[in-house]
Structure 1
Amino acid sequence: MPTSPSSSAQAAREALAARLREIRLDAGLTGRDLAVQCGWHPAKSSRIENAKTAPSDADLRAWCEACGAPEQAADLIAANRTADSLYVQWKRLHRTGLRRIQESYVPLYEQTRHFRVYCSSVMPGFLQTEAYATALLSSVADFREAPNDVADAVAARLARSHVVHDGARRFAMLVEESVLRYRIGEPEAMAGQLGYLLSVMSLPSVSLGVIPFTASRTLWPLETFNVFDDRQAAVELLTAQVTVTAPGEVAMYVKAFVELQEHAVYGSHARSLITSAIDALG
């Protein structure tokens, strides 16, 4: 697995810093010369060029102007914003509520044809019922002290889940058995959610595996992650959402998914685990 959850973001920042250094060298300027022209402390140029300080849009424009390359500013600003989006704190994403982040995934979902989903703590978002999603997102809003727009966020989550039923995509989903047992919401909500899992397993586009508590493991339970068409992975941490785009790192998540699949059970065995979880609700 990646050595740092923000390694893709750091790699993107380092690539941007390298481009800035090349622009400065092409202009025949030293770091001090650049700082003088931009009106900065000399240390600022060094910190930006060594990817220790993220430049602002204004910093990038000033850098390019000082180096006689103003035409490069727009591309650099776009690259900087992309790097910034790879590791984003939930606090920042949820500052205006939860609905907007639910809706922001729609373009990616519409473009993706093959989804790999691994969940170790909660039900896959694609498969959540209204009652389960309401209980879960209410907890999220409370814990992260986000504006309470849970009803709208749940509606947006359910609306984007239509992709599971349109038949144009493939969904390979894995859940740890613990996901079936963790009680999110009232027992009735959990029973409804588990019952929905049983019904969705019959969809031809869905492959749902459950990794039993008793599985003899070669790979430990991981953080929840999604892989989209081998192009991108999304990883959910407690404090941040990580977008992984470096091909080598995406390949590691695909490798982990394939290995986790070997621990899972499917069909009647998976159904029996789900049914057992329903019975345990009493």
Structure 2
Amino acid sequence: MSASPSSAAQAARERLAARLQVLRVDAGLSGQELALRCGWSASKRSRIENARTPPSDADVRDWCAACDANDQAPDLIAANQQADEMYVHWKKLHRHGMRRAQSDVLPLYVQTRHFRIYCSNVVPGILQTEAYATALLGTIARFQQTPDDAPAAAASRLERSDLLHEGNHTFAFLLEETVLRYRIGDTATMSAQLGYLLAVMPLHNVSLGIIPFSAERTMWPLEAFYLFDDHRVSSELLTAAVNVTAPSEIQTYAEAFAAMSRQAVYGSHARALITEAITSLG
């Protein structure tokens, strides 16, 4: 059985507490010495280090300063901030249907200037046609046994597509060739979806790369992930959405995206792969 969001958050707090303890030990400080440097009671230091009391961002910053590890503060503060939101079960997110979940993320999309999106399984939401999105979201609702409001959720999802044509946004998409071949919906739905990919490729603010089956892999296929500027990564697992804000982890995703970009084909070669996939539908 998967962990509940609350237990996942507690596990994140425990990992943060363990990292703080390592900093203290590496600095050669006893618990009492660290408390003195921070101006805390010994009990506060103990509660933080044993994950019984969540530290504030200021507490984390003071802890790092006391250990002469100020360079560690940004990552640890990010880990502290994301403890409650880093792991959110889809069933909880979709308990009243999926339309609201689609609407809730729209502000993040509006605020983001540069998107880097990698998908190995389905077409990214912002590139989905309404029919494709309806078919996909209906399948998800049935599997999760959550309310099926796929048509309304698909219509809401399409609001993101407007960002392709308005505002100061740039998009770098990386798709595995499998995305072109997995059939979501009927033949007409899939054909129209692939045709839409061809239609958006000429947009001046869009880069669409396809990683072919024949590519010699220097980076293995990963779970789908979305890089929102350099501030956040959202990754989609079967049971949950994982949100990452720690700078070092975001950098790792950015490096993975760059590595996979070098394996992709673009322009006429990418169009040829999409056209072949349309032809194969019969």
The TM-score with structure 1 as length reference comes to: 0.76
**Alignment match, 1:127:** 127
Cα distance in 1 between the residues matched to 2:210 and 2:116: 14
Q: Flag the 1:248–1:80 CA change in 2: closer, same or farther, 3 A.
A: closer
Structure 2 gap ranges (5+): 1-7, 21-30, 55-78
User: What does residue range 1-282 of structure 1 map to in structure 2 within 5 Å?
Assistant: 10=12, 14=16, 28=41, 30=43, 49-51=49-51, 82-166=82-166, 168-282=168-282
> Which letter does structure 1 place at the counterpart of 2:16?
E
Cα deviation, 1:38-81, whole Å, max 9, x if unaligned, reads xxxxxxx96x7523x787xxxxxxxxxxxxxxxxxxxxxxx977
Counterpart Cα distance in 2 of 1:163 and 1:12: 39
Q: Is the 8 A contact 2:82 2:244 kept in 1?
A: no
Post-superposition offset of 1:150: 1.2
Deviation string 1:130-152 (CA, Å, 9 cap, x unpaired) is: 11000000001111111111121
Distance 1:16 1:110 in 2: 36
Shift of 1:113: 0.4
Check whether the contact 2:116–2:172 (CA below 8 A) recurs between aligned residues: yes
Which consecutive unaligned segments of at least 5 residues does structure 1 have? 1-5, 32-44, 56-78
Residues 258 and 199 of structure 1, relative CA distance in 2, 3 Å threshold: same
Report percent identity of matched pairs.
56
Q: CA deviation at 1:28?
A: 3.7
SS of corresponding position for 1:223: coil
Worse overlay, 166-175 or 132-141: 166-175
Q: Distance in 2 between the 1:98 and 1:165 partners? A: 25
Give 1:36's aligned residue: none
Counterpart contact for 2:135–2:150, Cα < 8 Å: no
CA RMSD between the two structures: 2.9
Give the aligned partner of residue 70 of structure 1.
Answer: none
Map Cα deviations across residues 3-54 of structure 1 (whole Å, 9 max, x no partner): xxx79x8269726996xx989x9564648xxxxxxxxxxxxx96x7523x78
Using the TM superposition, give the Cα deviation of residue 231 of structure 1 relative to its aligned residue in structure 2, in angstroms.
Answer: 1.1
SS at 1:84's partner residue?
A: coil
Deviation for aligned residue 1:160 = 2.2
The answer (yes or no) to whether the contact 1:13–1:54 under 8 Å persists in 2 is no
Amino acid at match of 1:257: F
- Residues of 1 paired with 2:133 and 2:17: CA distance? 39
In structure 2, what is the Cα distance between the partners aligned to 1:144 and 1:222? 22
Q: Is the Cα–Cα contact under 8 Å of residues 115 and 227 in structure 1 kept in the other structure? A: yes
In the superposition, relative to structure 1, how do residues 102 and 138 fare at CA in structure 2: closer, same or farther (>3 Å)?
A: same
Output the amino acid matched with 1:94.
H
Counterpart contact for 1:13–1:80, Cα < 8 Å: no
> Do the aligned partners of 1:12 and 1:83 also contact (CA within 8 Å) in 2?
no
Give the counterpart letter for 1:232 in structure 2: R
Cα offsets for 1:119-138 (capped at 9, x unmatched): 00000111000110000000
Displacement after TM superposition at 1:91 (Å): 1.4
Contact 1:121–1:224 (8 Å) recurs in 2: yes
How far is 1:238 from its partner? Answer: 0.7
Alpha-carbon distance change, 29 to 12 in structure 1, aligned in 2, over 3 angstroms: closer
User: Contact 1:103/1:160 (CA < 8 Å) preserved in 2?
Assistant: no
C-alpha distance in structure 1 between counterparts of 2:80 and 2:258, whole Å = 33
Q: Take 1:114 and 1:15, find their aligned partners in 2: how far apart are those partners?
A: 33
Rounded Cα–Cα distance in structure 1 between residues aligned with 2:211 and 2:195? 18
* 8 Å CA contact 1:14, 1:50 repeated in 2: no
How many correspondences in the alignment?
238
Q: Cα offset for 1:82? A: 4.4
SS of residue in 1 equivalent to 2:84? helix
SS in 2 for 1:226: strand
Is contact 1:225-1:236 (8 Å) kept?
A: yes
